[in-house]
Amino acid sequence: MAIWNLGSINLDLIYSLPHLPAAGETLAAREYNRYLGGKGANMSVAARRAGSDVRHIGAVGTDGDWALDRLTDFGVDTTHVTRLEAATGHAIIAVDPKGENQIILFPGANRALQGAALKQALTQAKPGDTLVTQNETNLQAEAVQQARAQGLRVAYAAAPFEASAVEAVLPYLDFLILNEIEAQQLEASTGKSPAALGIRDVIITLGGEGALHIDGMTGKVTDVSACRVIPVDTTGAGDTFTGYVLSGLDQGLTMADAMHQANRAAAIMVTRHGTADVIPTQDEVRNANL
């Protein structure tokens, strides 16, 4: 089967700082790097490196050929990435010595995708394929509605969190993944706990504490512990986790096994500086001493 990802494509500009800046503070960076990023691109690369057939749907600007080249190098199908008269999305990321980060995001072409391009792309998908999207593009609601009608497994990563965006897609989801803070925000906006949303599978990531899976049909909660590592950069760890979980399910793993594999991938990811370019391969995940 294939994983179809309506997702952002960004240039990530990463600055290593002595600490995260306070309001009005000017800091000299200790190091600077640029990488392919965006939650969408990160998830596509992670799912591909985990072994799945990944088809990316999105948009870049006239300056975005480098991004398409990188995605193609990783083995992601970019047939359905549109070039638009807009700037390619980018993010300015500050990282402190403990691996915590602050991010300024400019959506650019990611928010200018045309409905006709999305519809045409998804007509190529087959029942049993997976669609995943996040809140860094437009057309999320249209995508999940079409995917559900075509018999795809529909997944949503609720970040960056916006209550109205999540609520618009909730009726069409088979799978929802969000972090602990996002879960609290969603419950505050809907008045429902994650277990009461009526979604078949909900995962709540807990950072260094691992993740929880909630079976929306039975209410059973499964706790999957994190691997113990010393993080240097947490950027992209959640995207790596999501891509690996979806790939594991796509390849027939149980939810628990897919989450264990994804935890290992995320643990490796936080020991590296960078985003899509440093997501671990399946062999690295399998052979890591964690």
CA distance 90 to 87: 9
Q: 80 forms bridges with which residues in the sheet?
A: 57
Q: Please compute Rg for the chain using Cα positions.
A: 18
- Beta-carbon contacts of residue 182 (< 8 Å; ≥ 6 apart): 158, 159, 161
The DSSP symbol for 227 reads P
CA distance 14 to 92: 6
97: preceding bond cis by omega (within 30 degrees) = no
CB atoms within 10 A of CB 290: 13
Angle at 240 between CA 64 and CA 212, to 5 degrees: 145
Q: Which H or E run includes 53?
A: strand 53-60
> Are the C-beta atoms of residues 14 and 34 closer than 8 Å to each other?
yes
Task: Please tell me which residue in 239, 257, 277, 283 is annotated as part of the active site.
Answer: 239
The DSSP symbol for 38 reads -
Q: Which H or E run includes 122?
A: helix 115-122
Verify whether residue 239 is a known catalytic residue. Answer: yes
Q: Can you read off the two tokens belonging to residue 286?
A: 């399998």
CA distance 32 to 284: 26
49: nearest Cα among 271, 226, 266, 270: 266
Active site residues: 239
